[in-house]
Amino acid sequence: MEILFVMVPVMLLIMGLLVGFFLWAVRSGQMEDLESQKYRILWEQDSPKP
């Protein structure tokens, strides 16, 4: 059972990394505009800065 002393911290570490990834995704704005992305690939020039 002593292996738990290793496993639990490792688990916490991995979870921390996962949460970190998620927060990075949010902070870098990847979750923001899901609508116009569909159309952005069709546009031929930049739209005005939002």
Partner 1 sequence: MIAAPPVCHHCGLPIERAVRRGDWAFCCSACDLAHQIIQEAGGEAYYQFRERAPLARPQTTDPLPWDDPAFQAAFVRTTPDGHEVDLILDGLHCPACIWVIEKVLGRVKGVQEVKVHYTASRLHLSYRDLPLSHLTRTLEQLGYSPSPYNPANLEAPARRQDQAMLARLVTAGFGTLALMFLTEPIYFSQFAPEEIHLRRLFEWSQALVATPIAWYSIWPFLKGAWTGLKVRTFTMDFTVTLGAFVTWLYSTIGLFTNREHLYFDSLVMFLFLILLGRTLEARAKRQAFSTSEQLLKLGGLLARRIQAGETQLISPLSLAPGDLVELLPGDKVPADGIIETGDTRLNESMLTGEARPVHRRPGDPVTAGTHNLDGTVRFRVTRSGGATTLAQIVRLVEESDSHKAPIQRLADQVSHVFVWIILAIASLTFLFTLSQGLDTAVTRAVAVLIVTCPCALGLAIPAALVLGTSAAIQRGVLIKKGEALETLPRIARVYLDKTGTLTTGQMTVQAWHPAPGVSVCTLKETAKALESGSEHPLAVAIRQAADTGTDLPTSGFQAFPGLGVTAEVAGSKGWAGNLNFVKQHVPVPDASALEALHENRLGHTVVAIAHAGHFLGLVAIGDRIRPDARDVVKNLREQGIELAMVTGDTPAAAWAIARELGITTVHAGLLPQDKQKLVAESDLPVAFVGDGLNDAPALAAATVGLAVASGNDLSQDAAGIVLLQPRLQGLADALAVARATRRIIRQNLGWALIYNMIAIPMAVMGWVTPLMAAVIMPLSSLVVIANALKLKWRAA
The identity of residue 29, as a single letter, is: G
- Find the shortest distance in angstroms from Cβ 36 to partner 1: 6
| Binder of partner 1 out of 10, 17, 21, 36 (CB under 8 A) | 36
Backbone φ and ψ for 39, nearest 5 degrees, come out as -95, -20
CB distance 18 to 12 below 8 Å: no
Site map (CB under 8 A) of partner 1, residues 4-33, x = contact: xx--xx-xx--x--xx--xx--xx-x-xxx
Q: Any contact of residue 3 with partner 1 (CB under 8 A)?
A: no
